[in-house]
């Protein structure tokens, strides 16, 4: 069911795992700022961060022998979809839950999505 990582891949696994979370957060941060400020220039940077996350995930999957087994390959796919969609979903929830405040708040660009 699992194929343990080889010694030579330890660093790759630790580093890419950390990068998955860090780039996931950076993607979310840039995505949210872009929507909040209405600054479309930030959105490509957000997706570049996501691309970095995708590359890190693939390196991680290769180093941890995840792609050799269908089940773990599905987990990798779930992770990538989850990280991609989570900021979109949470943004929708943010706008929805703050709906009553928008009249006072003003600059939140609701039309952007």
Partner 1 sequence: MATLGMLDSANLNGGQKLAVKYFTVAIMLFGAQVLFGLLSGLQYLYPDFLYGVLDFSVNRMVHINALVVWLLYGFLGSVYWLLEEESQHEVVGLKLGNLIYWVLTAAVTVVVLVYLFVQIGPGKESSIWLINEGREYIEAPRWADIGIVVSVLVVFYNVAATFSKGRYTGIAGVLVLDMLALFGIYLAGMFYTTNISIDQYWWWWVIHLWVEATWEVMVACIMAYGLMKVLGVSRKIVETWLYIEVALMFGSGILGLGHHYFWIGTPEYWFSIGGFFSALEPIPLVAMVVHAVFDAGARHAKNSNHPAMAWLIAHAFGNFFGAGVWGFMHTLPQINLYTHGTQWSASHGHLAFFGAYATIIIAMFYLGIQRWRGGTWMSGDLPSNGWKWKWALGLLNLGMVGMTVAMLVSGYVQSQIERAIEGSSWMGYFAAQIHPWFVQGMWWREVFGVMFLVGFILLVWDLLTIGKGESRAMVSAEAG
**Residue of the chain from 49, 56, 59, 87 that contacts partner 1 (CB under 8 A):** 87
**44 belongs to the binding site for partner 1 (CB under 8 A):** no
> 65: which 2 tokens?
């022998």
If the CB atoms of residues 32 and 54 are measured against partner 1, the closer one turns out to be 32
CA distance from start to end of the chain: 42
State how far the alpha carbon of 52 is from the alpha carbons of 26, 58, 80, 88, in Å: 10, 10, 11, 18
If the CB atoms of residues 43 and 95 are measured against partner 1, the closer one turns out to be 95
**110 belongs to the binding site for partner 1 (CB under 8 A):** no
If the CB atoms of residues 29 and 43 are measured against partner 1, the closer one turns out to be 29
**Residue of the chain from 41, 70, 97, 103 that contacts partner 1 (CB under 8 A):** 97
Of the candidates 83, 82, 60, the one whose C-alpha atom is nearest the C-alpha of residue 72 is: 60
Do residues 56 and 19 touch, judged by C-beta distance below 8 A? yes
If the CB atoms of residues 44 and 90 are measured against partner 1, the closer one turns out to be 90
Phi-psi region of 55 (alpha: psi -120 to 50; beta: other; left: phi over 0): alpha
Name the residues that contact partner 1, by CB under 8 A: 1-5, 7, 10, 13-14, 17-18, 20-22, 24-25, 27-29, 31-33, 36-37, 64-66, 71-72, 75, 78-79, 82-83, 86-87, 89-91, 93-95, 97-98, 100-101, 105, 107-108
């Amino acid at each position: 069911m699992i194929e343990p990582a080889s010694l030579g891949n330890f660093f790759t696994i630790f580093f890419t795992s950390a990068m998955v979370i860090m780039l996931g957060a950076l993607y979310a941060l840039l995505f949210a700022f872009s929507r909040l400020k209405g600054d479309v220039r930030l959105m490509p940077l957000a997706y570049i961060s996501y691309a970095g996350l995708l590359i890190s995930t693939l390196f991680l999957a290769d180093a941890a022998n995840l792609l050799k087994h269908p089940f773990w390959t599905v987990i990798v796919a779930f992770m990538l979809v989850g990280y991609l969609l989570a900021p979109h979903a949470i943004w929708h929830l943010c706008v929805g839950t703050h709906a009553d405040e928008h009249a006072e708040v003003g600059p939140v660009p609701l039309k952007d999505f």
